[in-house]
Structure 1
Amino acid sequence: MAIFLIVICVFLLCQFIFTIWNVKQFPTLEPVSSPSSDENIPLSILIPARNEEKRIEACLQSIVNQRVLPKELIVLDDHSTDQTRAIVERYAKTYPWIYVKSGKTLPQGWLGKSYACFQLAEEASSNWLLFLDADVRLKTGAVEAVYKQLCIQKTGMLSGFPEQKTGTFLEHLVVPMMMFTIGCHLPVKWVSTSNNPHFAAAHGGFIAIEKDCYLAVGGHEAIKDSLVDDMALARRVKQMGYPFTLASIHPFVYMRMYENGQEVWEGYRKNIFPGVNRNIALLSGVFCLYTILYLAPVICLLIALVQVDFTNICLAILCYGLGVSIKATIDIENGRTSAMAFLLPLSILTLIAIGIASIKIGLKKEGYVWKGRRYE
């Protein structure tokens, strides 16, 4: 057992060193101390909304509270059956640059969000398109900070992971694991410097893309049947040789993706297996690696405690501590508390359980259910 734990320690130490370096490679949005103009900037903020009455108002309010306003904000009401449209129309009466459009009937072969974004892009009149989810909130100075980076980049795509607000226990356990996976395994520096589409990550809640680039890569029409549309769009941008930036945006943007455990389970179940292109070998390999690195030391610790094996107790605790340190580093870098890092083994177990459920649905072709729609 001691040799096994020593090997894990070495791997985790290397992972820890890589993670510390990797999370520092994210480009950061720079704040603008004093906006240079009172005019609306040439940016179209586009929000697909389907039954978002609980979220859309806070999103809109965070935008109208900005010091610098976008040229236009367009919300696509995607056949909502609640008060989503009425809320947006109320804002549109006060702010003439806010518009609400009715979504068309979903055509055969399209997924709902991609078709909504496609319609929004057709309506937009600015050079830069910023797709936001209804649960995204912009902090003060976000619009000018984003636009400053877009002007430097000139074309291509920019995305980033908002600060994740969590409330329920399952949210605390699972939602931060998205950034844990990226921080541990995706060489962030290569996201911007390599055209290899494998080095890509994006968050569908925050995607800025230059309109000519969007049209050149085929927009959402080219990825109309992709469940993980954000990753698919990012890969197309990189394949076509356009600049792509995965930035640290959490100082300016935050969101609460899910509001209860059921939403966490269904949301991640929908994304995990399709997110690796339904590659069972890859996902199984990741889960095996996580089991060895983060779960096995806990099991070894329990065995060592029963056997009163002081050496193995110390080695197991060291492995556990390194795993916690990796998780804490990533959490802190993304504006979160490090307290939940101590529950990393439980987070790993939960993630694996959701992943298995995702694989099961994918293989049986039962279809993933999200917001009243079924996706194959």
Structure 2
Amino acid sequence: MFWVTVVQFVWVLVVVGYLTVNMLHLARVNPVSGPLARYPFISVCVPARNEERDIRACLESLLNQEYPQYEVIAVDDHSTDRTGEIMRSLAGKYSHLVCIEGQALPEGWLGKPFALHQAQRVARGEYLVFTDADPVFEPHALASAAHTMMTQNLDMLTLMPRAVFGSFWERTVQPMMFGFIAALTRFGKVNDPDSSRSMGFGAFLMFRREAYDAMGGHESVRGEILEDIHLGKRTKRAGFRIWVADAKRLFSIRMYHSLGEIWRGWRKNVFLAFGRSVFWTMYFSAALLAFVLTPYGVAALNLAAGAGNVSLWISLAAAFLVLISSQHLCDELELSRGYAFLFPLGALVTVGILINSMVHILGTGHSEWRGRKYSVR
């Protein structure tokens, strides 16, 4: 048991060290103060398919930006609920909202890339913003993002929102998912123009129009479920400057409202994020459990077995480091630190989703979302 305890402790030290260094490299975009040197025209593109729950709050937040020249282009992607009706009612109140009825999905295209492709075709902006139908933006969001693009001399900016949690399962599972994604995003490398590492978050992707067109736009990722990640890859490979940053003070998002939504929402693409690799899916599943769950188990076993002082204190130190790391994640996500004690349960559910995504996609050859099935063979 002594060597198991030592190995566990070393693993925790390695992970905590990596996470600490990675977070030190995380850039943060804060609200801009004062006028900008100039105000490039911005086109915000919003795809929506059966989004009646969230589309009004999203669009109204975008339509009330403290920015002098911009447009919002919303695409109703064959919704069967009240999404289109809500969009059209807002278009009657806001002259800078353009509503588009989505065309039939061409062969080889997936729904979201095609909806955004249609939006950008009518966009007039020097800057293009691609987002989802569920974020809610602060009035200074566009100005702050444009300021960052200009001051950092960027071709693409992708931002991470503040996460909003409602239900028990959101507070238990979503922090694990968000923390997992952040851990796998090498922030310093992504923002280093000399590194090939890249990233893209679909909630906010901002491009210079010239860079977007030069790297191929959404047409180049027309068949990709993870189109945001692939846009980031293509942009950086084309030699353009990209940046990823935290933007909790610019916008927020509540992705899913229940355990069922969380499960289905992540199942559709999380296995694809690992390149459809069984090895990497199982490796990161084991790594997550070995960091979030097993240190508590090893400490409990040492206590129950009446282990010697050295083993006991080493195992307690490992568990304490994990708890401190979990509480730091709570701080980042603006959650009560008490939820850190639920993260072992969240890790188990997360691993269940990872494995279910792998089995589902390998077994059926497709992924599904919003009533559509997409082949991933």
Q: TM-score interval w.r.t. the shorter chain?
A: over 0.9
1:273 matched residue in structure 2: 271
Letter in 1 for 2:222: K
2:287 matched residue in structure 1: 289
- In the alignment of these two chains, the number of paired residues is 374
Superposition map of 1:1-376 within 5 A: 1-35=1-35, 41-194=40-193, 196-197=195-196, 199-309=197-307, 311=309, 312-376=311-375
Q: Cα gap change, 1:214/1:357 in structure 2, threshold over 3 Å: closer, same or farther?
A: same
Letter in 1 for 2:111: G
Letter in 2 for 1:107: P
Q: Is the 8 A contact 1:26 1:248 kept in 2?
A: yes
Distance in 1, Cα, partners of 2:226 & 2:295:
33
Q: Note the C-alpha offset of 1:17.
A: 3.1
Letter in 1 for 2:25: Q
Cα deviation digits, residues 79-100 of structure 1 (max 9, x gap): 1122212212222222111110
Distance in 1, Cα, partners of 2:83 & 2:69:
21
Q: Cα gap change, 1:350/1:80 in structure 2, threshold over 3 Å: closer, same or farther?
A: same
SS of residue matched to 1:46: strand
Letter in 1 for 2:202: G
SS of residue matched to 1:96: coil
Q: Note the C-alpha offset of 1:334.
A: 4.2
Distance in 2, Cα, partners of 1:323 & 1:46:
40
Larger CA deviation: 238-247 vs 358-367 = 358-367
Distance in 2, Cα, partners of 1:196 & 1:302:
43
Letter in 1 for 2:24: K
SS of residue matched to 1:175: helix
Q: Cα gap change, 1:294/1:33 in structure 2, threshold over 3 Å: closer, same or farther?
A: closer
Q: Is the 8 A contact 2:31 2:249 kept in 1?
A: no
Cα deviation digits, residues 7-64 of structure 1 (max 9, x gap): 3223322332332232132222242223459x97511111001111110111122123
Distance in 2, Cα, partners of 1:203 & 1:74:
19
Letter in 1 for 2:27: P
Under a length normalisation based on structure 2, what TM-score does the superposition of the two structures give? 0.92
Q: Is the 8 A contact 1:153 1:243 kept in 2?
A: no
Q: Note the C-alpha offset of 1:316.
A: 2.9
SS of residue matched to 2:289: helix
Q: Percent identity?
A: 29
Q: Note the C-alpha offset of 1:366.
A: 4.4
Q: What stretches of structure 2 of length at least 5 have no aligned partner?
A: none
Q: Is the 8 A contact 1:180 1:327 kept in 2?
A: no
SS of residue matched to 1:120: helix
Q: Cα gap change, 1:69/1:90 in structure 2, threshold over 3 Å: closer, same or farther?
A: farther
Q: Is the 8 A contact 1:23 1:330 kept in 2?
A: no
Larger CA deviation: 61-70 vs 95-104 = 61-70
Q: Note the C-alpha offset of 1:321.
A: 2.0
Q: Note the C-alpha offset of 1:217.
A: 1.2
Q: Note the C-alpha offset of 1:232.
A: 0.9
Regions of 4+ moved over 4 Å: 194-197
Q: Is the 8 A contact 1:161 1:202 kept in 2?
A: no
SS of residue matched to 1:94: coil
Distance in 2, Cα, partners of 1:326 & 1:239:
34
Root-mean-square deviation over aligned CA pairs: 2.1
Q: Note the C-alpha offset of 1:313.
A: 4.2
Q: Is the 8 A contact 1:196 1:238 kept in 2?
A: no
Distance in 2, Cα, partners of 1:69 & 1:353:
47
SS of residue matched to 2:44: strand
Distance in 2, Cα, partners of 1:180 & 1:232:
21
Distance in 1, Cα, partners of 2:133 & 2:204:
10
Distance in 2, Cα, partners of 1:183 & 1:320:
21
Q: Cα gap change, 1:176/1:81 in structure 2, threshold over 3 Å: closer, same or farther?
A: same
Distance in 2, Cα, partners of 1:117 & 1:330:
33
Cα deviation digits, residues 242-298 of structure 1 (max 9, x gap): 111001111111000111111100111112100111011112111222233333223
Q: Is the 8 A contact 1:251 1:335 kept in 2?
A: no
Q: What stretches of structure 1 of length at least 5 have no aligned partner?
A: none
Distance in 1, Cα, partners of 2:290 & 2:332:
25
Q: Is the 8 A contact 1:237 1:244 kept in 2?
A: yes
Q: Is the 8 A contact 2:126 2:209 kept in 1?
A: yes
Q: Is the 8 A contact 1:183 1:330 kept in 2?
A: no
